[in-house]
Amino acid sequence: MAERFIVQLGDPILREKSKPVKIINQHVYKLLDDMVDTIYAAPGRAGLSAIQVGIPKQLVVMDCGSGLIELINPVILEKEGEEEGTEACLSIPGVVGLVKRAQYVKVGTLDRAGEEKIIEAEGFLARCIQHEVDHLHGILYIDYVNELYSNRSGKKLKPADAAPILAQRIPIIR
């Protein structure tokens, strides 16, 4: 197992749509293991999609406080409610934004054995899942925001400081 380099904002791969995993084999296990090592080594981490390590496959690892979760080819089946919360991203260090997300999600996914699983999540875990599934479709949390805040101080960034990041948004119409 090994840590992987995390792709940063500006790299066009972050805007690619990830492809489904067709065969779950040793290569997939190795990538998942490396992704796990990578999130646990990163400060302030919650989740990581394969696209963030430069691999456009539908793989996600996350630990949002209740233990490790791995998602292979995740699909959000249901969403309910709405709440606004702070989000950050390992690919966009130093800033956070307020994003409206569903409060509850139901997700279909595969596990390492290729077995279909259903995960129901609410609150922060639901937010993490939606954030990572967005990555698989080339969507970043900054696409939902108009303002950014310093990750350290919590203060709103000055327009001149936020502009280079916000200029890379692809606004999402809900």
| % of the chain beyond a pLDDT of 90 | 81
In this prediction, residues 166-174 reach a mean pLDDT of 80
At 41, is the pLDDT very low, low, confident or very high (cuts 50, 70, 90)? Answer: very high
Q: Is 27 annotated as a binding residue?
A: no
CB neighbour list of residue 111: distance below 8 Å, 6 or more residues apart: 70, 72, 117
Tell me how far apart the alpha carbons of residues 168 and 104 are, in angstroms, rounded to a whole number.
Answer: 28
Whether residue 171 is predicted with pLDDT greater than 80 in this model: the reply is: no
Tell me how far apart the alpha carbons of residues 174 and 47 are, in angstroms, rounded to a whole number.
Answer: 24
Active site residue 132: yes
Question: Mind listing the pLDDT tens digit for each residue in 115-157?
Answer: 999 999 999 999 999 999 999 999 999 999 989 999 889 899 8
CATH number of 12-166: 3.90.45.10
The mean-pLDDT minimum among 14-18, 23-27, 40-44, 68-72 falls in: 40-44
In this prediction, residues 152-170 reach a mean pLDDT of 88
Q: Where are the beta strands (DSSP E) in the chain?
A: 47-49, 59-63, 68-80, 83-89, 92-101, 104-110, 116-122, 149-150
In this prediction, residues 39-52 reach a mean pLDDT of 91
Q: Is 89 annotated as a binding residue?
A: yes
In this prediction, residues 3-19 reach a mean pLDDT of 97
Q: Is 135 annotated as a binding residue?
A: yes
Whether residue 174 is predicted with pLDDT greater than 70 in this model: the reply is: no
Active-site residue, selected from the candidate residues 70, 116, 122, 132: 132
